[in-house]
Amino acid sequence: MYTIGIESTAHTFGVGILKDDEVMASERDTYRPKSGGIIPREAAAHHYRTASDMVSRALKKAGISLADIDLVAFSQGPGILSCLRVGSAAAKFIGKKTGKKVVGVNHCIAHLEIARKTTGLADPVMLYVSGGNTQIITYSDGRYIVFGETQDIGVGNLIDKVGRQLSIPFPAGPKIEELAAKGKRYIKLPYSLKGMDVSFSGIETFVSRLQKPFSVEDACYSLQETVFAMLIEASERAMAYCKKDSLVITGGVAANSRLNEMGKIMCSERGAKFDIVPKEFTGDNGAMIAYAGYLMRDYKQSDLALRQRFRTDTVEIAYR
């Protein structure tokens, strides 16, 4: 069985192809604004220009043709509506052309499922960290339950906003990680953790008001150490509350080696399991959409409407 998955929630247009549950191809292209953050109409235009090429490249890498596709999956939400529309249109076109079933996938759940698949951890607490989302999640009684989340902006958005203040281009995460490794002095930043919920807007404001002298390296180091400590502390609380013995970090920010190191240290001290999601599956990608679609292949889904705000905990997980 061949499944094609299309991802278009934000800055990335991705196409993944699976043979049963094996990833055969994962191609993507990312919109990069000249300055500032994502401009929705420009991102959507990028996806429109890129879609055909990404589908062709994925099919070629998988060694199949469009006629071989058995199932089509796409990101139904959450995300930027204009971007979601491009992916939805591409998926429905492929479905109509091939006569095959089309399923809509919750983008966040796709991140969770690809993490479970690639790490082999069956029932972990999952720290889901990306541009627009920051949630601490685990599974219970047919649904993913959100035990903690950001009360304002996602950690990825925070990193990008601080990056702009420090004249670091979008996406700022990789460069901030590089600079943080050279930092030597910790600048005390607001540590806003309430139970298992976190808040980041105060950190953004504090960094914007920092007065020299301070080095960019020290600012990046302090940002990572503060924010990641909040996330790992909240995750540990969730593990204790749920009595779970494993942790996975997924989403775009899961590519950060320091965040993974802190998660590994915490789990080691608890005697818990920890594994790292391969970098090619941390950021937005079509393979995770295809995999979530494959898991949902027996769903009877009539509603393919886009959902700009699509909560992780509203989806019934019938395949587990």
Cβ–Cβ under 8 Å, residues 23 and 16: yes
For 223, counting Cβ atoms within 10 Å of its Cβ (0-12 exposed, 13-18 middle, 19+ buried), the class is buried
Task: Return d(Cα 58, Cα 54) in angstroms, integer.
Answer: 6
Task: Return d(Cα 213, Cα 49) in angstroms, integer.
Answer: 45
pLDDT of residue 200: 95
pLDDT of residue 33: 86
SS3 33: coil
Domain with CATH 3.30.420.40 in the chain: 2-110+281-314, 123-279
Task: Return d(Cα 197, Cα 235) in angstroms, integer.
Answer: 10
Chain position carrying tokens 């069985």: 1
* Alpha-helical segments (H) within 79-145: 81-98, 107-119
Task: Return d(Cα 287, Cα 296) in angstroms, integer.
Answer: 14
pLDDT of residue 253: 96
* Alpha-helical segments (H) within the chain: 40-62, 81-98, 107-119, 155-165, 173-180, 201-208, 216-242, 257-270, 286-295
Task: Return d(Cα 231, Cα 281) in angstroms, integer.
Answer: 20
C-beta neighbour count of 241 within 10 angstroms = 14
pLDDT of residue 120: 96
C-beta neighbour count of 61 within 10 angstroms = 14
pLDDT of residue 37: 80
Can you list the residues of the chain whose pLDDT is less than 70?
Answer: none
Extended strands (E) in 107-155: 125-129, 134-140, 143-149
Task: Return d(Cα 77, Cα 1) in angstroms, integer.
Answer: 25
Chain position carrying tokens 């299309």: 6
pLDDT of residue 95: 97
Cβ–Cβ under 8 Å, residues 156 and 170: no
Instruction: Give the domain 2-110+281-314 fold.
Output: Nucleotidyltransferase; domain 5 (3.30.420)
For 140, counting Cβ atoms within 10 Å of its Cβ (0-12 exposed, 13-18 middle, 19+ buried), the class is exposed
Superfamily of segment(s) 123-279: ATPase, nucleotide binding domain (3.30.420.40)
* Max CA distance (Å), the chain: 63
Report the Cα 282 to chain-centroid distance in Å: 6
